[in-house]
Amino acid sequence: MTLESLSFTPALSPDTSTKHQTFIIFYYSNILITKDDEMPSFIFNEMPEQIASSKYSKQHLGKLNNSNCDIIGLLEKPSEIEKTEFVPIRALFNKLPQEQLLLAGRANQIINWAVSHRFCGRCAHKTQNKEHELALICNNCGITYYPTISPAVIVAVVKDGKILLGHSKRFKGQFYSVLAGFLEIGETFEECVAREVKEEAGIKVKNIKYFGSQPWPFPNSMMVGFTAEWAGGEIALHDEELDDANWYAPEEMPNTPGTFSIAGQLIEWFRETYS
Site residues for Zn ion per CB under 5 A: 120, 122-123, 138, 140-141
Helix (H) or strand (E) holding 268: helix 262-274
Task: Label residues 194-213 b or e (16+ Cβ within 10 Å = b).
Answer: bebbebbbbbebeebeebeb
> Residue 151 and residue 260: Cα distance in Å, rounded?
19
> Residue 243 and residue 233: Cα distance in Å, rounded?
18
> Which CB atom, from 123 or from 236, has the smaller least distance to Zn ion?
123
Give the 3-state secondary structure of residue 105.
helix
Nearest distance from C-beta of residue 13 to Zn ion, angstroms: 24
Q: Is 145:135 a contact under the CB 8 Å cutoff?
A: yes
> Which CB atom, from 126 or from 206, has the smaller least distance to Zn ion?
126
Nearest distance from C-beta of residue 201 to Zn ion, angstroms: 43
> Residue 137 and residue 120: Cα distance in Å, rounded?
8
Nearest distance from C-beta of residue 125 to Zn ion, angstroms: 5
> Which CB atom, from 117 or from 167, has the smaller least distance to Zn ion?
117
> Which CB atom, from 125 or from 206, has the smaller least distance to Zn ion?
125
> Which CB atom, from 136 or from 165, has the smaller least distance to Zn ion?
136
Nearest distance from C-beta of residue 57 to Zn ion, angstroms: 17
Task: Label residues 260-275 b or e (16+ Cβ within 10 Å = b).
Answer: ebbbebbbebbeeeee
> Rounded to whole angstroms, what are the CA distances from 149 to 112, 145, 185, 220?
12, 12, 13, 5
Nearest distance from C-beta of residue 140 to Zn ion, angstroms: 5
DSSP code at position 263: H
> Which CB atom, from 119 or from 182, has the smaller least distance to Zn ion?
119
Nearest distance from C-beta of residue 28 to Zn ion, angstroms: 24
